[in-house]
Amino acid sequence: MATGRSTVKPRTCRALRASPCQFLLRACWAGPGRASPSRAGPPRRAAGPQGTGRLLWFRGSTERPGRSRSPAEAAPPPGPPRSAPPTFPLAAGTANGRRGPACSAGGSCWAGVSRPRVRPLRSPPLPSGPVPSCEMPPKKAGDGVKAHPIIGRFGTSLKIGIVGLPNVGKSTFFNVLTKSQAAAENFPFCTIDPNESRVPVPDDRFDFLCQYHKPPSKIPAFLNVVDIAGLVKGAHTGQGLGNAFLSHINACDGIFHLMRAFEDDDITHVEGSVDPVRDIEIIHEELRLKDEELIMQSIDKLEKVAVRGGDKKLKPEYDVMCKIKTWVIDEKKAVRFYHDWNDKEIDVLNKHLFFTSKPMIYLVNLSEKDYIRKKNKWLIKIKEWVDKHDPGALVIPFSGALELKLQDMSAEEKQKYLEENMTQSALAKIIKAGYAALQLEYFFTAGPDEVRAWTIRKGTKAPQAAGKIHTDFEKGFIMAEVMKYEDFKEGGSEAAVKAAGKYRQQGRNYIVEDGDIIFFKFNTPQQPKKK
């Protein structure tokens, strides 16, 4: 065993090439005279002072592939066993684990940390089987959650119409809802041409953001509401200007079905008596019969082309229309009652936009007395009918007389009156329900200059949501920085949300959720060069 300083000679190992973009770096320590006998030429020596062990890094092997070493070569050098080498962290000032200056104490220095001489390091056995690739897997087209298609017109400028028999309080409800002054008289067909207005969607989240930022510009989300003239029996055949009124309904995307459940001898009823369940059935049947007419017209046209004409491209649409015919005509049910339409069938439904496919909310107009005491003989019957024929639909009682009275009061008088009678206005609930029925939601952009709610359809992805602000945002979309309203309110600031790790960076497959506060990053698209 050598007692003085010795010259340490390097011996290379086979290098393992893991992939085109990686190769394994190997190093071996050898004692005196342990250079490989198979290599021609003088052995390679480590640079540095004599007696200093050097760790050499190699990018590839200099040995012949497949060479096997003799037992003498593979045996460890003579001498007493030594302990396993300690590991050392990278010292400050090093880069990529490069070696620092040599140590004068006879050991090797790695990044300035003294390391004693140790027994030769042996490479682990080469792995068997295929070598894994370091390449990233290709992105799949359409990565992310695929939104289920929605029955109805695509877009965000959607409208909900107020539908019902004449003299049930539609125009009064429209006026108190939108703070308009549409004609509301005590005779049938007071409304001929539809009245349209928009009403802001009440939201405590929007109010909080406005109070926090105090911007000069505050823009909430809006619900577009249309007051449509009353329908009567036989409207689908043209009775009582029925064709014109039905066309107004067809232009809407949802329905507030308003019915009268109050007695008033001074207000006439076209059917001679108050019976809201009967009134619901009249409206439903008129809409279904109009759909029946439209379905048969479509089937007749498709049959000529797809069946007798042999057009295979239209055959799937013909089959879907036959299924719709069975449901609406044979079983006398509305399109929206069937909840198992698949994607292709929904595409056909959205092509025709049938009356009975529109979402419907049932509004029960009560007297002020019944609304305050929350009792009315018709409410239970109405709820039972809706649960049977339109399961899951909302039934919202309100009082047009009470809402009209509250509209003429100041804010203080209104609050006092509601507290004395232990009741509240139903308008906010109705507006939110109508907005949700149209499958609409909104995200916020908030800052010291403006707080705004941007209306989108449910299931909208981040680039398309950015396009609601400006088309350049969608074309050059990079990412969306998102924080939840609840996190912002809890933290009290954007910095607190970031510190809590709840400020997210989302890509183009992110589906925007209702109430998200978003900051978009985008590249300005280059304008085409003019020739």
- The C-alpha atoms of residue 464 and residue 449 are separated, in whole angstroms, by 23
Q: Which of 462, 467, 474, 469 is nearest to 505 (CA)?
A: 462
> What's the length of the chain?
531
The reply to whether 274 sits in an annotated binding site is no
The reply to whether 237 sits in an annotated binding site is no
The reply to whether 350 sits in an annotated binding site is no
Question: Could you write out the DSSP letters of every residue in 491-511?
Answer: HSSHHHHHHTT--EEE-TTPB
Q: Where are the beta strands (DSSP E) in 269-379?
A: 360-365
CA angle 147–148–152, rounded 5-degree value: 115
- The C-alpha atoms of residue 495 and residue 441 are separated, in whole angstroms, by 26
Residues pairing with 364 in the sheet: 259, 397
250 Cβ contact list (under 8 Å, min separation 6): 353, 355
Q: Which of 492, 431, 458 is nearest to 197 (CA)?
A: 431
The reply to whether 250 sits in an annotated binding site is no
Three-state secondary structure readout of 253-290: CEEEEEEECCCCCCCCCCCCCCCHHHHHHHHHHHHHHH
Q: At what angle do helices 170-178 and 400-407 cross, to 10 degrees?
A: 40
- The C-alpha atoms of residue 182 and residue 453 are separated, in whole angstroms, by 28
The reply to whether 376 sits in an annotated binding site is no
Q: Which residues are annotated as a binding site?
A: 167-172, 366
Binding-site positions for ATP? 167-172, 366
